[in-house]
Amino acid sequence: MFLKDKTVLVTGGTGSFGKEFIRKLLKDDLIKQIVVFSRDELKQYEMNDVLNSSKVKYILGDVRDFASVLQVTKNVDVVVHAAAMKQIPAAEKNPMEAIKTNVLGAENIVKCSIENEVQRVIALSTDKAANPANLYGATKLCSDKLMIAGNGLTDFRKTKFSVVRYGNVLGSRGSVIPFFKNRIKDGFIPITDERMTRFWLTLETGVQFVLDSLERMSGGEIFVPKIPSFKVTDVARIVAPNTPFRIIGIRPGEKLHEIMITADDSPYTFENSSYYAIYAPEVLDSNSNVVLGTKVKDGFEFNSNNNPYWHTDKSFIDTLKSCGLLA
């Protein structure tokens, strides 16, 4: 295992992903040390109270602050960059705040990781970064580009950068599941469009995919898992079975269907058994043997509507039960 005896820095480590990722590392008990880097002292205190592990070190700071990022990346082997401003409405109303965190923060991670000779950096992205329709998606697209371009700054040698991109995480903060449950008391479930589809995966699946991607990354890849789609109306029907829908219309910046891989990226995309990888053109131009999988057809697009992998009612119910979201 690549992470054996390594020191791992997790930015935004007190978020939903960070907590589950760190629990997994502690459970496997192979890691040397985990550094949690975030700006909320209360969340760090609460997390430390729950985990109570000598292997976890907590450092207050902000990815927007170059000096603190430079300091925290010293003597670190791996960076998992999960810190981001993620709320779409908040990003629309406070655009410079989103840019500072998601774009300039990513730039700081790249520069400081190179300066301190971090071995591998993997950044968490979002489906919203593919053909972005809102500022949050646009900033995450910029972040993805900065990460992949970071490989060129090191000539794909000492520090390697890759990205993981996936869709809605069941049970994470901001998940639609608790939102639908809370709306039952109103007597109706608000649905923006009855045709809407989304990709769905569990937090545990997302964590494992990041771990797997850390193992196989060579630098310059955007990894996209093959995860099932499901209509939003079907989600609401299962979560709130006796509550009627009310169609309220698509909100600004919202898409009818999620896109993970655009047709424009098809020349650089390769398919494997459980995931796709979008490679930086420089990787493909080098005729490198690190390219894994079978090239997809030109014009291929991976979105939640044309996805060959779909949840059934039973599989979605079983998934919700497995992560404690349905009795």
Which amino acids are annotated catalytic? 128
205 touches 227 (CB < 8 A): yes
Over the range 248-277, which residues count as b (16 or more CB within 10 Å of their CB) and which as e?
eeeeebebebbbbbebebbebbbbeeebbb
Query: What tokens does 280 get?
Result: 């930086």
In 134-195, beta strands by DSSP E? 160-164, 168-170, 189-191
CA 128 → CA 75, 121, 320, distances in Å?
Answer: 33, 21, 23
> Cα(283)–Cα(288) distance, rounded to whole angstroms?
6
**Alpha-carbon Rg of the chain, whole angstroms?**
20
The residue whose two tokens read 């109706």 is 188
